[in-house]
């Protein structure tokens, strides 16, 4: 039996898409109610690559959730997802798995905004940092 000469430091934490042999894997939880949750702040010192995300609504009601990338001064750059209630249905969700990752340069924010009385948005973001 040959000895393993290379082992990634985060190998036992792989969840979902394996990010390859570069950087450190990230798995960020989304859990926000009628507020804004900053998942990655603009003061980061690494480049972040996003590979997949999931966002869902917890309860019935007239509310919504949005995931977006902004510059550090909150200038909008791009939407990653928007979800709202349709006919007050519970369990609505969106999911995205990318063939090629989105690169977030240093100085950008990734945030989720939940709006509406009683809103509750949950989910995750997966990728890696270099």
Residue 12 lies inside a defined structural domain of this protein:
no
Alpha-carbon distance of 88 to 60, in angstroms, equals 5
Residue 14 lies inside a defined structural domain of this protein:
no
Residue 4 lies inside a defined structural domain of this protein:
no
Find the farthest-apart pair of alpha carbons in the chain and give their distance in angstroms, rounded.
Answer: 61
Per-residue pLDDT of the chain (130 residues; tens, 9 = 90+): 444 444 455 555 555 555 455 677 888 888 888 788 899 888 887 888 898 999 888 766 667 888 888 888 888 888 888 877 654 455 677 888 888 888 888 889 999 888 877 778 888 999 888 8
Residue 11 lies inside a defined structural domain of this protein:
no
pLDDT for res 74 = 83
Residue 39's contacts (CB-CB under 8 Å, 6 or more residues apart) are: 28, 30, 110, 111, 112, 125
Domain that holds residue 87: 22-129
Residue 9 lies inside a defined structural domain of this protein:
no
- CATH number for the domain that contains residue 27: 2.60.120.220
Residue 5 lies inside a defined structural domain of this protein:
no
Q: Taking Cα atoms as reference points, which of 102, 101, 106 lies closest to residue 47?
A: 106
| Number of domains the chain is built from | 1
Residue 60 lies inside a defined structural domain of this protein:
yes
Residue 59 lies inside a defined structural domain of this protein:
yes
pLDDT for res 99 = 85
pLDDT for res 6 = 46
pLDDT for res 1 = 42
């Amino acid at each position: 039996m040959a000895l393993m000469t290379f082992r990634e430091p985060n190998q036992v934490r792989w969840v979902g898409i394996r990010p390859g042999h570069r950087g450190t894997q990230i798995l960020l939880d989304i859990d926000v109610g009628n507020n804004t949750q900053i998942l990655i702040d603009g003061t980061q010192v690494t480049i972040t690559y996003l590979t997949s995300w999931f966002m869902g609504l917890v309860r019935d009601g007239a509310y919504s959730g949005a995931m977006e990338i902004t510059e550090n001064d909150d200038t909008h750059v791009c939407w990653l997802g928007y979800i709202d209630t349709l006919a007050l249905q519970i369990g609505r969700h969106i999911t995205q798995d990318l063939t090629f990752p989105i690169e977030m340069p240093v100085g950008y924010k990734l945030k989720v905004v939940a709006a509406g009385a009683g809103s509750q948005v949950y989910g995750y973001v997966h990728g890696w940092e270099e």
